[in-house]
């Protein structure tokens, strides 16, 4: 890795925007790819993202903006992907440049639907990026609070401690504290699973369950997450660390959470289609619940909460009935 590696963020959403903001605190130049040329033009003109996290202001002289993904891949030594998981494959399929020599960070919270792989594995298997060159950036961190510069903690995971440390350094600032980890698989799964549990929390709320039940649901969620991750990637980890439990809590309890909001609408009686139409953002948990459910068909872990969300979203089961049943499966 060069001493002053070039870093680029891929994505035009809230989280991508927040990461660009964090990097701008430390770097002279930050690459920023977004597929929409209009958005690129808008940012150059107005110094903020037109669609997401628009309260975050940028010094455009610091930004190297492009809607050409190959140009951005060529530019960067370290690539940070923050594209919703459902669109990752479409974007990556545009790449003709070689990725195998790059350091790739995933700030995506989900599974690539087309391959059923978490993002790190997808880069490894589909784009020949060595596992040692793959990292994960995870919360608990709502982008909205980064825009407000409210103190937030990130976990930077990589098998290569040096890489994790470098990324930590570039993301840290007076409102961002970082911690490093070597659990790239576990942190990615946690980031994906938490969206399902946040959706369940929203559904419960929409159905009229109260705070007492929410606490039981979250307590069961972290135990379910622990079982799930242990099965897919066994290693020593403290599931109560911020990257796992903290990330679950911020998503399950915060009003900023789109997954919770989506679940809430479902609980209140919206159909999946109408809830999707109401929201201008993708709720990652929607895709994640299917991926996790399918993955679990072979792993056979006891995951009553994931199962409940899947049944409601994909099998069109009645949320009230499914939750009534779920209350007997958790404790």
Round to whole Å and give the CA distance between 95 and 56: 29
Minimum distance from residue 321 beta carbon to a second copy (Å): 15
Residue 109, marked binder: yes
Round to whole Å and give the CA distance between 261 and 65: 32
Determine contact, residues 179/167, Cβ cutoff 8 Å: no
Please say which residue, 124 or 303, places its beta carbon nearer to a second copy.
303
Q: Which of 21, 194, 226, 290 is catalytic?
A: 194
- By rule CB under 8 A, what string of x and - marks binding of each residue 312-331 to a second copy? ---------------x---x
Residue 259, marked binder: yes
Determine contact, residues 192/288, Cβ cutoff 8 Å: yes
145 is a site residue for a second copy (CB under 8 A): yes
Round to whole Å and give the CA distance between 60 and 44: 6
DSSP state, residue 62: G
276 is a site residue for a second copy (CB under 8 A): no
Residue 143, marked binder: yes
Element (H, E) at 59: none
Residue 87, marked binder: yes
Plot region of 208 (φ>0 → left; ψ -120 to 50 → alpha; else → beta) = left
Please say which residue, 28 or 211, places its beta carbon nearer to a second copy.
211
> Is 194 noted as a catalytic residue in this protein?
yes
208 is a site residue for a second copy (CB under 8 A): yes
Nearest to 229 by CA among 323, 273, 295: 295
Active site residue ranges: 194
Give the binding site for a second copy (CB under 8 A): 139-142, 145-146, 148, 150-153, 177, 179, 208-216, 218-220, 222-223, 226, 238-242, 245-247, 249-250, 253-256, 327, 331
């Amino acid at each position: 890795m060069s001493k002053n590696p070039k870093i680029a963020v891929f994505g035009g959403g809230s989280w991508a925007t927040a990461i660009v903001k964090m990097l701008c605190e430390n770097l002279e130049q930050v690459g920023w790819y977004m597929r929409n040329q209009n958005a690129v033009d808008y940012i150059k003109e107005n110094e903020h993202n037109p669609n997401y996290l628009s309260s975050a202001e940028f010094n455009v002289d610091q930004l190297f903006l492009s809607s050409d993904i190959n140009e951005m891949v060529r530019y960067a030594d370290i690539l940070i992907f923050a594209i919703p998981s459902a669109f990752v494959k479409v974007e990556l399929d545009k790449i003709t440049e070689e990725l195998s020599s790059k350091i790739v960070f995933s700030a995506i919270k989900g599974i690539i639907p087309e391959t059923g792989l978490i993002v790190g594995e997808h880069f490894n298997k589909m784009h020949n990026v060595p596992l040692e060159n793959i990292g994960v950036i995870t919360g608990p961190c709502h982008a909205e609070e980064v825009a407000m510069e409210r103190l937030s903690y990130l976990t930077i995971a990589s098998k290569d401690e040096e890489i994790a440390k470098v990324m930590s350094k570039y993301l840290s600032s007076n409102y961002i504290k970082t911690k490093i980890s070597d659990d790239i698989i576990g942190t990615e799964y946690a980031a994906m699973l938490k969206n399902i549990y946040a959706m369940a929390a929203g559904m419960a709320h929409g159905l009229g369950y109260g705070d007492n039940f929410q606490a039981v649901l979250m307590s069961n969620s972290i135990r379910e997450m622990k079982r799930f991750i242990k099965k897919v990637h066994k290693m020593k980890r403290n599931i109560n660390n911020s990257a796992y439990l903290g990330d679950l809590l911020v998503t399950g309890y915060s009003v900023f959470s789109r997954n919770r909001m989506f679940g809430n609408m479902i609980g209140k009686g919206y159909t999946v289609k109408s809830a999707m139409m109401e929201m201008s953002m993708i709720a990652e948990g929607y895709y994640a619940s299917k991926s996790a459910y399918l993955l679990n068909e072979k792993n056979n872990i006891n995951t009553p909460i994931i199962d409940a969300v899947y049944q409601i979203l994909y099998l069109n089961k009645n949320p009230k009935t499914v939750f009534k049943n779920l209350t007997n499966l958790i404790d």
